[in-house]
């Protein structure tokens, strides 16, 4: 009997070993509550199998229980492994420079025919394919090779431009695979998603366990934010005049600061609504939700949804993005051009849904709503609850309040939770905002997107200019509107809310970065593009510089680390 118990305990340990400690603790607690060993083992096996099935490689790849130090060590090993396998890379890169260099005019600076580079490109491609398989074994996905090159015949079917683009892609990606910092970024992202996917499968992302994101990911994200803040506080930016600011101080002054980000969003929404009122547009508030198969658990009970098909919040966001592309194409066909904002936020189990505040012509409102409803219901539109939960539309009644006020709670909830008493599920709004931020970070979800409106980069650059700047009258009027936070007037003076970027009165102006010693234009770290930096604004044939200083970053108490550029 003792031998059987010991063997069973070993089996339990083997089942739990691949999981993060927090999941091990949960499953161990459930195991101990079972009435019999048989039922305990059955439940444990089923729970672990559910997690294993949603993982592309099962428990292979990055171990789920890895921490930051483990990921750093793994990144070092992976980059060194790729460096060893790519011993011929410097030779091939040197030979392909005439073909792949970025000349000012034309596609190639090479005097030799493209076909003379075929063998080198084939060798480079074979190297990439081998490294791609290695990366995928570590849960790092890489693009499939477009237009696979394997013979002279294959080369002959491609245009010169396509061949050069392909060679550049191979050179750039292999350079990344040899780099420690690239690997660390990729492994962190892949590991965060893998852990959160396991937590979804274990059904501990819901309002009863951990709302919006798992406690594991929330705690890890808090640690990452603390490390980032420490780094910002330990480094300072220094300009040619000797002015010094910590990176933390500079970060607090831009939209990285949640308060600044929230304020800017609210100003832009208010300005959009002001324009809508002037033009007599009607406001509509839409909500679009994913089909049932994207939801891990039920909102009322927190119990697992038997129709869940292993989808993650990222899959749900991809579904909504594709849906919106189709809706916008339909709008285009019907000549409906709405203005507004789209907000993505998580439901209790992390499944995203969208809120859209749109303004359009009064005679187009019914058609716009009908198009949105039609596309929202096309996939699994007959499933139970679809008619009630998948799509909702409400007209904004100005007598009951402004459209900006209506959407303000969704902005606050998804940024810092300020000015809210409680969340939709009764959760603390400040803590909820932190969990939403974790959800956004883990799954790479863009939460806010404006529909219509001019360049916000231009808006921000104008607000850097002082009243004393000598500007043409037209530019000064736009600068004044931006300085007064009048998003409506700013857009009208820039050419209108529907004005194309290239036709707007002012456009951001970028400049190449040059090597001080050689005078050559600097390439990016991986050689895939020239380094450009934002320096000011372009107006007709004139350029107005908004970033006057050259900055470098130093660790406090040490020598200069690296140039930062213009700020």
For residue 85, CA distances in Å to 128, 132, 148, 183, 261 come to 10, 12, 21, 15, 45
Whole-number Å distance between alpha carbons of 120 and 439: 44
Q: Are 305 and 291 in contact (CB under 8 A)?
A: no
292 and 414 in a common domain = yes
424 and 467 in a common domain = no
Q: Note the pLDDT of residue 487.
A: 97
Is 232 contained in some domain?
no
Q: Are 503 and 495 in contact (CB under 8 A)?
A: yes
- Which candidate, 227, 168, 191, 149, places its Cα nearest to that of 61? 191
For tokens 């995203």, name the residue: 352
Q: At what angle do helices 21-33 and 2-16 cross, to 10 degrees?
A: 140
Q: Note the pLDDT of residue 564.
A: 54
- Which candidate, 83, 63, 89, places its Cα nearest to that of 180? 83
Whole-number Å distance between alpha carbons of 249 and 245: 6
Whole-number Å distance between alpha carbons of 130 and 520: 34
433 and 305 in a common domain = yes
Specify the DSSP element, H or E, that contains 136: helix 118-137
Is 374 contained in some domain?
yes
How crowded is the C-beta side of 43, counted as CA atoms within 13 Å?
Answer: 15
Q: Which residues pair with 356 in a beta bridge?
A: 286, 342
- Tokens coding 68: 């930051």
For residue 150, CA distances in Å to 99, 128, 171 come to 18, 13, 17
Q: Note the pLDDT of residue 562.
A: 52
Q: Note the pLDDT of residue 134.
A: 95
Q: Note the pLDDT of residue 106.
A: 45
Q: Are 357 and 452 in contact (CB under 8 A)?
A: no
Whole-number Å distance between alpha carbons of 158 and 458: 40
165 and 114 in a common domain = yes
- Tokens coding 373: 């409803």
Q: Note the pLDDT of residue 107.
A: 47
Is 253 contained in some domain?
no
422 and 279 in a common domain = yes
Q: Note the pLDDT of residue 320.
A: 98
- Does the CA dihedral 333-336-339-342 come out positive or negative? negative
SS (H, E, C) 484-522: CCCHHHHHHHHCCCCCCHHHCCCEEEEEECECCCCCCEC
Q: Note the pLDDT of residue 104.
A: 44
Whole-number Å distance between alpha carbons of 388 and 394: 14
Q: Are strands 550-555 and 560-566 parallel, antiparallel or unpaired?
A: antiparallel
Is 203 contained in some domain?
no
How many percent of the chain have pLDDT more than 70? Answer: 89
Task: Reduce the DSSP state of residue 147 to 3 states and report it.
Answer: coil
Q: Note the pLDDT of residue 469.
A: 75
540 and 441 in a common domain = no
Whole-number Å distance between alpha carbons of 278 and 488: 10
117 and 265 in a common domain = no
Which positions ≥6 away from 11 have C-beta within 8 Å?
A: 41
Q: Note the pLDDT of residue 515.
A: 66
380 and 464 in a common domain = no
Whole-number Å distance between alpha carbons of 203 and 199: 6
At 282-302, the pLDDT tens digits run 999 999 999 999 999 998 898
Q: Are 552 and 222 in contact (CB under 8 A)?
A: no
519 and 445 in a common domain = no
38 and 10 in a common domain = yes
Residue by residue, pLDDT tens for the chain (567 residues) are 577 788 888 998 999 998 988 889 888 988 888 888 889 899 999 989 989 888 877 788 999 989 999 999 999 999 999 999 988 778 777 777 767 665 544 445 555 666 677 777 888 888 898 999 999 999 999 987 654 545 555 655 677 777 788 888 888 899 999 999 999 999 999 999 999 999 999 999 999 999 999 999 999 999 999 999 999 989 988 888 888 888 888 888 888 888 899 999 999 999 999 999 999 999 999 999 999 999 999 988 989 999 999 999 999 999 999 999 999 999 999 999 999 999 999 999 999 999 999 999 999 999 999 999 999 999 999 999 999 999 999 999 888 888 888 888 888 888 877 766 666 666 778 888 899 999 999 999 999 999 999 999 999 999 988 877 788 999 999 999 999 999 999 999 999 999 999 999 999 998 877 666 666 667 777 776 777 888 899 999 899 888 888 888 888 876 555 555 555
Domain count, the chain: 4
Residues with catalytic annotation? 406, 410
| Plot region of 286 (φ>0 → left; ψ -120 to 50 → alpha; else → beta) | beta
Q: Which residues pair with 360 in a beta bridge?
A: 282
Among candidate residues 163, 183, 203, the one where a domain is terminated: 183
440 and 472 in a common domain = no
Among candidate residues 183, 199, 233, the one where a domain is terminated: 183
Q: Note the pLDDT of residue 341.
A: 96
Burial of 192 (0-12, 13-18, 19+ CB in 10 A): buried
Q: Note the pLDDT of residue 94.
A: 76
Which positions ≥6 away from 545 have C-beta within 8 Å?
A: 535, 536
Is 97 contained in some domain?
yes
Among candidate residues 420, 451, 482, the one where a domain is terminated: 451
Q: Note the pLDDT of residue 95.
A: 74
Is 27 contained in some domain?
yes
- Which candidate, 89, 160, 100, places its Cα nearest to that of 126? 89
Q: Are 304 and 205 in contact (CB under 8 A)?
A: no
State which residues form the domain around 29.
1-54
- Which candidate, 226, 210, 208, places its Cα nearest to that of 218? 210
At 341-395, the pLDDT tens digits run 999 999 999 999 999 999 999 999 999 999 999 999 999 999 999 999 999 999 9
Write b or e for each residue in 453-475: b if 16 or more Cβ atoms lie within 10 A of its Cβ, otherwise e. bbbeebbbbbebbeeeeebeeeb
134 and 50 in a common domain = no
Is 229 contained in some domain?
no
Whole-number Å distance between alpha carbons of 155 and 148: 9
């Amino acid at each position: 009997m003792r031998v059987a118990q010991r063997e069973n305990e070993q089996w339990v340990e083997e089942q739990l070993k691949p999981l993060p400690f927090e999941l091990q603790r949960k499953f161990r607690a459930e195991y101990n509550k079972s009435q019999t060993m048989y039922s305990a083992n059955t439940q444990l096996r089923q729970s672990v199998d559910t997690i294993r099935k949603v993982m592309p490689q099962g428990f292979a790849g990055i171990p789920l229980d890895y921490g930051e130090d483990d990921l750093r060590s793994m990144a070092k090993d992976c980059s060194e492994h790729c460096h060893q396998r790519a011993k011929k890379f410097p030779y091939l890169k040197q030979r392909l420079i005439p073909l792949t260099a970025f000349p000012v005019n034309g596609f190639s600076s090479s005097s030799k025919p493209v076909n003379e580079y075929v063998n080198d490109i084939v060798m480079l491609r074979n190297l990439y394919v081998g490294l791609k398989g290695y990366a995928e074994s570590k849960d790092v996905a890489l693009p499939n090779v477009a237009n696979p090159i394997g013979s002279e015949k294959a080369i002959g079917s491609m245009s010169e431009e396509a061949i050069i683009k392909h060679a550049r892609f191979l050179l750039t990606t292999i350079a990344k695979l040899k780099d420690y910092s690239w690997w660390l970024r990729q492994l962190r992202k892949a590991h965060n998603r893998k852990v959160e996917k396991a937590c979804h499968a274990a059904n501990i992302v819901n309002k009863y366990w951990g709302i919006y994101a798992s406690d594991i990911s929330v705690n890890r994200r808090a640690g990452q934010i603390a490390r980032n803040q420490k780094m910002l506080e330990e480094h300072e930016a220094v300009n040619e005049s000797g002015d010094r600011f910590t990176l933390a101080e500079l970060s607090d002054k831009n939209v990285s600061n949640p308060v600044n980000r929230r304020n800017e969003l609210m100003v832009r929404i208010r300005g959009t609504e002001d324009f809508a009122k002037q033009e007599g547009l009607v406001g509509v508030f839409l909500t679009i939700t994913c089909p049932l198969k994207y939801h891990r658990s039920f909102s009322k009970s927190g119990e697992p949804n038997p129709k869940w098909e292993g989808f993650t919040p990222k899959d749900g966001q991809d579904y909504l993005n594709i849906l919106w592309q189709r809706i916008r194409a339909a709008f285009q066909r019907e000549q409906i051009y709405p203005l507004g904002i789209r907000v993505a936020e998580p439901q209790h189990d992390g499944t995203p849904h969208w809120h859209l505040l749109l303004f359009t012509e009064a005679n187009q409102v019914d058609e716009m709503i009908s198009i949105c409803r039609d596309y929202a219901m096309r996939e699994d539109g007959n499933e139970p609850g679809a008619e009630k939960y998948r799509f909702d539309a409400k007209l904004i009644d100005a007598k009951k309040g402004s459209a900006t006020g209506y959407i303000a709670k969704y902005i606050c909830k998804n940024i810092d939770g300020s000015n809210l008493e409680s969340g939709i599920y009764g959760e603390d709004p400040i803590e909820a905002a932190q969990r939403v931020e974790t959800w956004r970070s883990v799954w790479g979800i863009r939460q806010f997107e404006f529909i219509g409106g001019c360049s916000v980069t231009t808006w921000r650059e104008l607000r850097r200019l002082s009243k004393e700047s000598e500007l043409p009258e037209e530019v000064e009027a736009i600068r004044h509107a931006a300085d007064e936070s009048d998003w409506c007037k700013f857009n009208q003076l820039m050419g209108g809310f529907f004005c194309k970027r290239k036709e707007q009165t002012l456009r951001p102006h970028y400049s190449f970065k040059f090597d001080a010693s050689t005078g050559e234009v600097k390439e990016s770290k991986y050689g895939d593009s020239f380094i450009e930096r934002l320096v000011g604004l372009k107006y007709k044939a004139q350029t107005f510089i908004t970033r006057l200083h050259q900055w470098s970053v130093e660790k406090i108490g040490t020598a200069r680390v690296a140039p930062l550029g213009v700020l």
